[in-house]
Structure 1
Amino acid sequence: MTGSTDGYAQHPHIGGRTAALRALAAWRMEWPGAPRVIALTGNPGSGRSHLLTGFLMMCDPEFRKRLPLDDMDPSTVPPELPSPAVPSTAGLTAAQVLWLVAEHYNLAATAVDDVYAELAALDQAVTIVVPDVDRAGPVRAAGEAARLVREVLKPLAATETVRLLVDVPRPLAVELADGLPYGSVQIIDLDEPQWADPEGLVRHAEAALSPQAAAPALPFTVDPAARHALAAAIGRRAGTSPLVVELAVDSILMAPEGFGPADEQYLPGSVGEALDLHARRLGADPQTLRLILAPLALAEGDGLPVEMLARLVGAVAGRDMSETVAGAMTLAGPFVQPGQADGDGGPTLLRLRHPAIGDAVRAGLPNVRAAQSRTAMALLEAVPEQDWGKADPYVRDHIAAHTLEAGLLPQLLTDPGLFVHADPVPLRAAVEAVSVEALGAPARTYLRTAPLLTRTQAPTVLRAALLETAFVEDGLHEYADAVHRLGFDLPWRTLWSLPVTGISAVTVGSLPGPEGSATPVALLVVPADTPGARPVGASGEAGGSSAVLVHSLTAPATTLLGEADPQQVRLPSEDERAAAPLGLSRGADYLRVWDRASEEVLAALITDTPFTAADLSPDGVLVVATARGAKALRIRPRAAETSS
């Protein structure tokens, strides 16, 4: 699409949009009177992402060298400046997007409010471009796009040192602009006449119909006059939507038989019409096409594994559709895009070529929640032996999103295996979208542990270990035991947890008993008013400001030895500690237990609240304290390697 207007060459990626490009270029060069904030919006499929991508090509100092900028309208070309910050939003949370901005500008902030304060204190303005706000969040039904606007983009827009350009759905564009000073913000709606580009749509269609673009040789592709006439008709019918143009052209070229280019009634005016007209031209029921696409419209993440499509189509339809799906390549082709998980070599995934197709399919479903419910049940049935360790990665990582939209998620959140095996990023997002009151006790434990799992990107075994100890902390011992039954070699077993605040020191030792026996204990230094504790002063006398709790080292949390005299507790000598097989090292938010002989780390414990104290017994029981309380973990020694 390199045609010219008024003697200027078109942007080779965009092929039009002169008015919008002029406004964006003026914003980029800080032209007098240009707004500081621009919200680029329009209907799904209006070409927002396409326009923004083309504009960013000209904002990149290296990429712009490949463009014919000297031949283009100078008023559409931004000046050569350092690249703006362009944080990706696809699949990310609002917080993740903000920290991408902070990282781009090397901010020292460690808290959200500090990011805005540091940006406001900069000597010169910074430029931030945020594309695809509607694709934010790891879970569609969690409403992350709205959260991104309210919690990140509005504060950025209110920061005078920030020049902001965002690609955002229309309702959120209005919300973003609300409250900003007059003249500081502009909404560019690509469906409004002043920003629409009907000539660009015709050029787009004509280029796609050309044999030079690999279109097959047909009467209306090889004949320039016929090609232009058809392109003009497609553009007229498409209104303001480049996506409808693309779908119309692809539908015609994929199945040209029976197409009459002289009759515009065979050309779509919307995405929904593109679906229905394509099906009718192929002699299929439009509802059949919509059913085939329904699982993709309900899918999460990067796409649906191809082998699951027939099962889920049947689930949504309520009948076996496997034969129909097997022969549906031409029927579904214009609307589907294949891909691979994890790059080359991963399983084949199917996804819709544009979210607007999903919107049209979902709008045609009688009941989206019911369709999601049937989809979720089919996915659950596909888990071998109901073992999440054997589940397909798509099912394992996205079942929570499906059940969230189906209204069934709280019922699912009772399985420790799911908590351990599922990707914590989408699972956390789904759980956070449910009111806390609707969550059971194990789900609430997961909810408070999830930030630690996502922040550290903990692998599966570490997730299991952290959840095991969290369940013990919350008194859910049966769930901790269930984690151990999952078959992992966990680095520890949590023996007990004591919810006592204000612990300033812990020490392990032993309490002498009759006939030379001894009871392993933990001494916890706590505030003087702690129930069950023995007050001690600076000189060891009663009446001091601190006290000591004596707790069995290995028995359950209820085993407080209230009658025990802390003065009678025997502490390990330095020689005993030095001779112990395990060593302990500590940071503010981590502890490591290592084997002295091999210097191998046996256990790495991390926390979301700083450790206040820790001690390790000679036989490998680790006692740690945080603001939440104290707990004891028996460290599992690494099994000795044997050789024959």
Structure 2
Amino acid sequence: MTGSTEDYAPHPLIGGRTAALRALTAWRGSAPGAARVIVVTGGSGSGRSRLLTGFLMLCEPEFRKQLPLDEMDPSTVPPELPAPAVPAPDGLTAAQVLWLLADHYELNATSIEAVYAELAALGEPVTVVVPDVDRAGPVRTAGEPARLVREVLSPLAATETVRLLVEVPRPLAAELAQGLPAGAVQIIDLDEPEWADSEGLVRHAQAALNPEFGAPELPFTMDPAARLALGAAIGRRAGTSPLVVQLAVNCILMAPEGFDPADERFLPTSVGEALDLHARRLGTDSQTLRLLLAPLALAEADGIPVHLWARLASAVAGQDMSQAIAGGLLLAGPFVQPEEQDTDPAEGEQGEGGRTLLRLLHPAIGDEIRAGLPNVAAAQTQIAMALLEAVPEQDWSKADPYVRDHIAGHTLEAGLLPQLLTDPALFVHADPVPLRAAIEAVPPEELGAPARTYLRTAPLLTRTQAPTMLRAALLETAFVEDGLPEYAEAIHQRLGLELPWQTLWSLPVPGISAVTVGSLPRPDGPATPVAVMVVPAGTPGARPAGAPGEESGAAVLVHGLVRPDPLGDVDPEQVLRPSEEERAAAPLGLSRGADYLRVWERADQEVVAALISDAPFTAADLSPDGILLLATERGAKALRIRGAGAGIAS
């Protein structure tokens, strides 16, 4: 039973769900006996997202003014309160969702643990609504929804000052409720009879068939009796799934020719039947339709560019599908949603105005398509190979943004991602958010050295939202630090980028407290540029600091400045430091803060290199000829600064 009443107007978006709305309203108003945590779940396509969207319309003070509240069942209208926090997880990591929540409540927390502590310490309960948990994560197969439940939602649910409403897939609902005291949590499963909404499904179908709401004028849509009868049949056949209702209506209206509204055999009872019956009614085998939709079912992010559809469908099918796609609008149309996306010339995207992406109408369609594939990993392998072939001249700077940014997601599900992670050009040009998420999903022991370097550097790439040039600079330095000079050299030689510096060397000596540049006179030639570093006593190759016999706890290490040559036999007293006059006459100047360094042209004050680090800078010095010597808690490195172009290094 739905608990609906004929005397009240239904919710204009939901059209029913009275029992569920009553439970949510009781939760929102902290009614006696209402659970503190509500978990809305159900099968994919059961209307979870629509229910929460409709309920949030009632919780938003300005939006609720547009609703006919006086005509609705009072038990389904929550009291007017400040809007709840709604950290939408679509495309985000678990940590990002938590920090959205921290920002909403203006917390001062600097760690994940502190967020929960500060929420618990707030003077009054906080209300949090988290919809669309199944859409969390920048990579579809990286398991972010489960991580969001374990690392964020479960701790929130256990915080007694948090009133939590979440919408999760059924496999995660029990995990979220586990461990909470009796009465603290209520699970609303929209497929269960208590919460199902057969009347709402019928109204949904009847409204979707009505020309007043956009349906085409057809005999069975213009005739009220025929329309109501067909809507009732669609709703009855759909069981508990609003998605099946939507697909049934889409299929009928997309190709109404020959449709007999009195013949219920072509009205689906599931997503799979909607696919099969639509193909049969159009005289095509269902497998063709499923192969056309397979690339969309395996797609990442917001969908695939329309110009790649035929290429990828052909790759999965193992045959040319371009003809099927050329005439396949009627066939695939009910299940596909196009989306216009603006291009970004700053990231190398070509064209004016934008481009068209294609995605499935609902994730449940993707679930059905993937379940019917003989081997998902094999299909993803074929897609990955087709995407690689689509890279012009194997130059990642010219690749389509979808190929460049999401090939990692496809190769992850294919089990081939480690093999892809050997090209520094991909590291430089790909969006670091999905690439990082994909790499983090691979067991560390399966990653090669370049991928481990990328993963170590990725937090800076994502935190700074660094564009291509800055990503290249960060990675060039990181490769040198990790003993991969050939990858650093490849960034300089192959990518055609004028980086603001070249990393000359890196020395993994912890505990450096001071550095200075200098020169070591030579009787038989020009002076040798050197780096002088104050290091902890006992550091290999270093000389004790201070007078003989004194124990200062520090030592001095002398190292070549241009070439990574240890000069342990050199007396630091022999090193000549640049004079103040030499420094003042140098073309470049250096300024330093706790977490940044800037090198600038003295002539025009233009910053030519800006450096940040995930570890605080402990010391820095700049030679008159433009070699920057810097130290963090992990060690020291030397960078030859070039005269133009800003950058970041760690």
**Match runs of 1:343-382 below 5 Å:** 345-382=353-390
Partner Cα separation in structure 2 for residue 520 and residue 178 of structure 1: 64
Q: 1:589 matched to which residue of 2?
A: 595
Partner SS for 1:193:
coil
Q: Does 1:626 align with 2:632?
A: yes
Post-superposition CA distance 1:83-138 (Å, at most 9, x none): 11111211100011000000000001111111001001101011111110000000
Partner Cα separation in structure 2 for residue 130 and residue 555 of structure 1: 54
Q: 1:338 matched to which residue of 2?
A: 338
Partner SS for 1:229:
helix
Partner Cα separation in structure 1 for residue 272 and residue 634 of structure 2: 55
Partner SS for 1:160:
coil
Q: Does 1:533 align with 2:539?
A: no
Q: Does 1:395 align with 2:410?
A: no
Q: 1:642 matched to which residue of 2?
A: none
Q: 1:470 matched to which residue of 2?
A: 478
Deviates more, 1:43-52 or 1:542-551: 542-551
| Equivalent pair of 1:615/1:624 in contact (CA under 8 Å) | yes
Q: Does 1:319 align with 2:319?
A: yes
5+ residue gaps, structure 2, are 344-351, 646-650
Residue number among 397, 409, 421 corresponding to 2:417 in the alignment: 409
1:597 corresponds to which letter in structure 2? Answer: A
Partner Cα separation in structure 1 for residue 483 and residue 152 of structure 2: 37
Partner Cα separation in structure 2 for residue 353 and residue 193 of structure 1: 26
Q: 2:179 matched to which residue of 1?
A: 179
**Match runs of 1:55-454 below 5 Å:** 55-342=55-342, 345-454=353-462
**Match runs of 1:480-629 below 5 Å:** 480-485=488-493, 486-515=495-524, 517-537=526-546, 539=547, 543-556=551-564, 559-629=565-635
Deviates more, 1:119-128 or 1:571-580: 571-580
Partner Cα separation in structure 2 for residue 118 and residue 231 of structure 1: 51
2:434 corresponds to which letter in structure 1? Answer: P
Partner Cα separation in structure 1 for residue 215 and residue 563 of structure 2: 76
Partner SS for 1:152:
helix
Q: CA deviation at 1:255?
A: 1.0
Partner Cα separation in structure 1 for residue 468 and residue 214 of structure 2: 47
Q: 1:636 matched to which residue of 2?
A: 642
Partner Cα separation in structure 1 for residue 359 and residue 216 of structure 2: 25
Partner SS for 1:521:
strand
Q: 2:347 matched to which residue of 1?
A: none
| Equivalent pair of 1:88/1:130 in contact (CA under 8 Å) | yes
Q: CA deviation at 1:580?
A: 1.5
Partner SS for 1:141:
coil
Post-superposition CA distance 1:538-588 (Å, at most 9, x none): x575543100100011002xx110100011111112222222111111122
Post-superposition CA distance 1:270-324 (Å, at most 9, x none): 0010001000000011000000000000111111100100011100000111111
Q: 1:181 to 1:540 in 2, by over 3 A?
A: farther
2:301 corresponds to which letter in structure 1? Answer: G
| Equivalent pair of 1:302/1:341 in contact (CA under 8 Å) | no
Q: 1:540 to 1:187 in 2, by over 3 A?
A: farther
Partner Cα separation in structure 2 for residue 71 and residue 160 of structure 1: 35
Partner Cα separation in structure 1 for residue 30 and residue 353 of structure 2: 46
Identity, % of aligned positions: 77
Q: CA deviation at 1:603?
A: 0.4
Q: TM-score, normalised by structure 1?
A: 0.97
Partner Cα separation in structure 1 for residue 584 and residue 548 of structure 2: 28
Count of residue pairs the alignment pairs up:
634
Partner SS for 1:9:
coil
| Equivalent pair of 1:582/1:620 in contact (CA under 8 Å) | yes
Partner SS for 2:538:
coil
Post-superposition CA distance 1:468-522 (Å, at most 9, x none): 0000000100000001121111010000000111111111111121157311111
Q: TM-score, normalised by structure 2?
A: 0.96
Residue number among 455, 465, 468 corresponding to 1:457 in the alignment: 465
Partner Cα separation in structure 2 for residue 130 and residue 540 of structure 1: 66
Partner Cα separation in structure 1 for residue 512 and residue 322 of structure 2: 62
What do you get for the CA RMSD once the two structures are aligned? 1.4
1:613 corresponds to which letter in structure 2? Answer: A
Partner Cα separation in structure 2 for residue 457 and residue 541 of structure 1: 51
Partner Cα separation in structure 1 for residue 290 and residue 174 of structure 2: 32
1:599 corresponds to which letter in structure 2? Answer: Q
Partner Cα separation in structure 2 for residue 515 and residue 440 of structure 1: 45
Partner Cα separation in structure 1 for residue 580 and residue 161 of structure 2: 58
Partner Cα separation in structure 2 for residue 189 and residue 307 of structure 1: 40
Q: 2:24 matched to which residue of 1?
A: 24
Q: CA deviation at 1:589?
A: 2.0
